[in-house]
Amino acid sequence: EEAPAPGVGKHLRRKIGEAAVRLAQTANYEGAGTIEFLLDPKGKFYFLEANARVQVEHPVTEMLTGVDIVHEQIRAAAGEQLSYEQGAVWFNGHAIECRILAVDSANEFAPSPGRITEWVPPIGPGVRVDTGVTTGSVVPEYYDPMIAKVICWGKDRPSAIARMEAALHMMRVDGIRTIIPFHLRILGNRFFRDGQVDTTFLPRRMA
């Protein structure tokens, strides 16, 4: 995941945001949530779904805006006012998130359960890692295979991509296989780097 979305200009982003707010207001919705849209090649967008929860990809918004969404969700649930007015929320730079899954991307993304014998997460400016595992943790064959999220911020999209590449090369996960090599392939793909990404990207550009 990344933000801002490549190929979506300020005017279109504003229209999508306004549509999301209208939907939430119409439903009298309060609290953190996500409203998703699909965008066609002509710039028209269509409602896809609404999720009444904080989603996996929320850190890209946090890195981009400096707003702690989970903290604000708790304040809202407690009946308190948010810490920010909308006008005080600004985009700064670009953020990318890679979900680190315990799967073998060289074997049709087959699950790779087992014990993590070494865990070395990336560190550095603009790098964030959300995880619940460490050296010695056991990844079961059940449930979601996600073991971590790596989020990188840069002053612009190219620098965010470069920082993510460096972070994933720095990261070490032994004992199981992960999706990291596949993420690195995507990050190095020229179409991805040019922002030419849509729902057909993987079969068309990565097959």
53 classed as catalytic: yes
HSE on the CB side for 87, CA within 13 Å? 0
User: One of 14, 22, 53, 185 is an active-site residue; which one?
Assistant: 53
Burial of 81 per CB tally in 10 Å (0-12, 13-18, 19+): exposed
Cα separation, 157 vs 64, in Å, equals: 12
Report which of 145, 8, 122, 130 is spatially closest to residue 60, judged by C-alpha positions.
130
Longest dimension (CA), the chain: 51
Report which of 170, 133, 132, 128 is spatially closest to residue 150, judged by C-alpha positions.
128
- Other beta carbons within 10 angstroms of residue 85's beta carbon come to 8
Question: Who's near 38: CB < 8 A, 6+ residues apart?
Answer: 45, 46, 48, 199
Return left, alpha or beta for 195; rule: phi > 0 is left, psi -120 to 50 is alpha, else beta.
left
**Catalytically annotated residues:** 53
